[in-house]
C-alpha cells in the first residue's frame, strides 16, 4: 500500500467515514470501537464513551478541513453543521442529529 496523496477528496472521504462512525455510535450499532474494546460493552458508560470518541473524530477531521479550506458542510444538514460548529456534544445533538428519527434514511444506517 503506497502513500495516498493528501487531497480534498481524501479528507472528504475521511469525513464521510467519521460521520458514518458517529451516526452508528448514536444508533448504538457496531463500530470499529467495539472491536478495539469488546470488554466495554459490559459497562454502562460504554455507549456514552463510544459516542464521545466518534464525535471527537468527526470534529478533528472537520477542523482539518477548515484549516485547509476544504468544503465539508455539504455533507451535513444545516442543523448538523450548526451542531458541529458549536463543537459541544450536548443532549440536543444526541437527540436531534437526525431530523426525523423515523425517517427511511435513519432506519437504513
| Residue-wise pLDDT tens digits, 65-103 | 999 999 999 999 999 999 999 999 999 999 999 987 544
Specify if 14 maps to a domain: yes
Running DSSP on this structure, what letter comes out for residue 4?
P
Specify if 66 maps to a domain: yes
- Cα dist from 74 to 18, 80, 90, whole Å: 15, 10, 22
Specify if 24 maps to a domain: yes
Specify if 97 maps to a domain: yes
Range of the structural domain that residue 104 is part of:
8-108
Contact between 15 and 57 under an 8 Å Cβ cutoff? The reply is: no
Residue 14: per-residue pLDDT: 96
What gap in Å lies between CA 79 and CA 98, rounded to an integer? 9
Specify if 1 maps to a domain: no
Dihedral angle computed from the Cα positions of residues 26, 42, 17 and 92, in that order, rounded to the nearest 10 degrees: 20
- The number of domains in the chain is 1
Specify if 93 maps to a domain: yes
Q: 2-13: per-residue pLDDT in tens? A: 677 789 999 999
Q: 19-75: per-residue pLDDT in tens? A: 999 999 999 888 887 787 777 777 777 888 889 999 999 999 999 999 999 999 999
pLDDT band of 1, cuts 50, 70, 90: low
Specify if 79 maps to a domain: yes
Other beta carbons within 10 Å of 70: 17
Using DSSP, state whether 57 is helix, strand or coil: helix
Specify if 64 maps to a domain: yes
Amino acid at each position: 500500500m503506497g502513500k495516498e496523496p493528501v487531497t480534498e477528496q481524501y479528507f472528504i472521504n475521511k469525513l464521510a467515514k467519521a460521520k458514518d462512525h458517529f451516526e452508528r455510535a448514536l444508533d448504538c450499532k457496531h463500530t470499529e470501537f467495539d472491536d478495539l474494546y469488546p470488554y466495554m460493552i459490559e459497562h454502562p458508560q460504554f455507549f456514552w464513551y463510544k459516542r464521545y470518541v466518534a464525535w471527537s473524530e468527526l470534529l478533528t477531521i472537520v477542523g482539518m478541513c477548515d484549516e485547509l479550506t476544504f468544503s465539508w458542510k455539504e455533507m451535513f444538514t444545516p442543523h448538523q453543521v450548526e451542531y458541529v460548529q458549536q463543537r459541544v456534544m450536548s443532549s440536543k445533538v444526541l437527540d436531534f442529529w437526525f431530523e426525523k428519527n423515523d425517517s427511511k434514511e435513519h432506519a437504513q444506517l
